[in-house]
Amino acid sequence: MAEVQIKEIEKQIKDQLDRIYKLLDEKKSAEFIKVEYKRVVELISQKYLLMKDEMQKRKNKIDPTEYAKQMAGLDAHYKDDVIAIAVGIDNTLEGK
């Protein structure tokens, strides 16, 4: 069930990123882009919350060290995804 939800959210993230880059191409106001960025971060947050919920369900079935490692990995990937999008937008706005 969660896999289907995650796939749907990933599609929504892709669509949202397409919207952001269209706004960037059209040289729209940074304020519009900030609103769209917040939406994509919300979607990314939903995705990672679902993934962490799935990990939580498997917590008792795996080694505690492995569980902690995988949860830390999810946190790191979440931060990387959010930062990468922000940097990409910022670089585009600055014309890099």
Q: Containing H/E element for 61? A: none
> How many secondary structure helices (H) and strands (E) does the chain include?
3, 0
Q: How many CB atoms lie within 10 A of CB 9?
A: 19
Domain locations along the chain: 2-93
Please tell me whether the overall predicted TM-score, pTM, comes out greater than 0.75 for this model.
yes
pLDDT tens for 18-77 read 999 999 999 888 888 999 999 999 999 999 999 999 999 988 898 999 999 999 999 999
Query: Does pLDDT of 1 surpass 70?
Result: no
Tell me which DSSP letter residue 29 carries: -
Q: How confident is the model at residue 2 (pLDDT cuts 50, 70, 90)?
A: confident
Q: How far apart are CA 43 and CA 50, in angstroms?
A: 11
